[in-house]
Structure 1
Amino acid sequence: MFPKSEQDNDDDVEGETLYYKEAGMLLDHIEIFMNLIVKGNYKEASYVAACSPKGVLRNMETLLKFKALKQSFNEDISPWLCHCKVLAETAREAPFIPNMIISLECAKAARSKNHIKFLYKWIAGERLTCFDEMAQLAERLNTVDLAEFIYRKANGHYEVASYLLQADKLIGSISHKI
């Protein structure tokens, strides 16, 4: 509608240069991550992914890549659980708190490797997204206090009352405001 001025052309060149620099930086970061995976440096690769610019590697595809890796003999936790741990630890600083799907995957990783203490820590530190399905997972683990806490964080007031009634915590459900 309006003709471009000479200054507009300069802005486009600078903006385009910035775009290519940013794209190059993202590609370099992805390459560093892939090289670490190939070398078997999973913990370091996890930190590179978790701290990736614009969260480009904080996604389900990356998490599934770690899930597919085998645990080596000298590691105390699997690459999958390690990556979930790093995602949760860096969630507030990143600042990308994992979405519901990734949060549930992290909860499943903690459950499958019998590291429920991690799940308690992540939920209490508000480093995962709380929602009903995660609370149901906690129910199946027979962690009454964790399930109740997650339901409360997810504003599932009726679910809290129902769960407390099922778990023979009648007094707690009566005191919970429905």
Structure 2
Amino acid sequence: MYIIAGLGNPGKEYEGTRHNVGFMVIDELAKKLNIDVGKLKFKSLIGEGNYKGEKIVLQKPQTFMNLSGEALYDIVNFYKIPLKNVIVIYDDKDLDVGKIRIRRKGSSGGHNGMNSIIYLLNSEDFPRVRIGIGKPENDLVSYVMGKFNEYEKKLIDEAIIKAADAVIDIIENGIEHAMSKFNGG
């Protein structure tokens, strides 16, 4: 069983913003895996399905970014699954726009959603897929809450598909395989 959580903020006003790329990847995975992410449970929108014999739960926390850990904590405790089967997808300002990086574990890198998750799960030891949104030139908050320009949008759309494929590869072949396949370039 896998729980795949994409981080973002709920509400129309946040759709398409840099901080919501995690939600965008969950939407892409929902299409690829034919899972409807429409049930409200665990302070999240979730969808459940099966892929190659594995139960998959797709999760879009509805707690707002800075409280993402509350939603992850609830679902992980309910299903009682090992953290190595929890994959978190989120934006990363320290990666160029459209780059993705897969890691087995690690710090929050200053990301408030990840700070919340690491604090409430009491562990940094879970896989994550980071999607680059680029560095802001000035105010971080307005940058992450802003939308991509036309050029960036093209790169992000490609990264979203690539990140969804990477998550599927983690499920099929393990994280080492996915890291060697998707972390280059």
- TM-score w.r.t. length of structure 2: 0.25
Which protein has the bigger strand share?
A: 2
Of structures 1 and 2, the one scoring higher in RCO (CA 8 A, sep 6+) is: 2
Which protein has the bigger helix share?
A: 1
- TM-score w.r.t. length of structure 1: 0.26
Larger Rg: 1
